[in-house]
Every structure is written in structure tokens, then in C-alpha cells.
Amino acid sequence: MENIINYLINTCNQKPNVAAKITKSLEKHNDICAELKNWIKNKQFPQNNPLKIEGYTAQDVSKLAPFMDGVGIYNFMVTLRERPENAKRIIAEGFKRK
């Protein structure tokens, strides 16, 4: 988790408390964290055997919401896992932003 927090602080210019809050939901999902760590390292989504949640990979989410960075995409993957109905509604509405 430390390298995700460091990425948020050093690359995304987040304050430490904000970085900790952003990563809080990721903590209980080791598989999602592992893919995010690889994305941070390579800036690419896995092509071979990517994590699929509710039928979506991180790359699928990236295509649906190109304004999101990797951290946002993987946090959305958490939403797909924990609250699939809500996530699918967000997808159906086109990721409406305020």
C-alpha cells in the first residue's frame, strides 16, 4: 500500500491524509491493489489474465471513463465488487460528472 500512497503524494500531489483516504477502500482487496501497483509501475493495464469484476476489466473501465487515472479506475473496480448495482448504474449513466 505504501507505494500507492507514495504515488499519490509524489506524482499526483495529494496530501498524505488525502492519499490515505483514497487508498482506504483498496486495503481489503489485495488483487485490485496488485493490479494497481503494476499500473503505477508500468502505466499499462494487464493484457494476460486481467482481473475481471462484474464482467469489467480495468482497461474496460478506462475506455468507458477516459478522464479517470489508474487510481480512480481501480477504486471504481472496488465499487464494482462492493456495490455492483451502484457501479453498473454509474456505467449506464455514462459516468456523469458534476
In a domain, 47, yes or no: yes
In a domain, 68, yes or no: yes
pLDDT for res 82: 97
Distance of CA 65 to the CA centre of its chain: 11
- Segments of the chain scoring below 70 in pLDDT: 98
pLDDT for res 20: 92
In a domain, 62, yes or no: yes
In a domain, 42, yes or no: yes
pLDDT for res 36: 96
pLDDT for res 97: 73
In a domain, 88, yes or no: yes
pLDDT for res 98: 65
In a domain, 55, yes or no: yes
Domain count, the chain: 1
Q: Cβ(56)–Cβ(35) under 8 Å?
A: no
In a domain, 44, yes or no: yes
Domain carrying residue 42: 29-92
Q: Distances from the Cα of 23 to the Cαs of 2, 6, 11, in angstroms?
A: 10, 11, 15
CA distance 39 to 20: 18
- Say which amino acid occupies 66: P
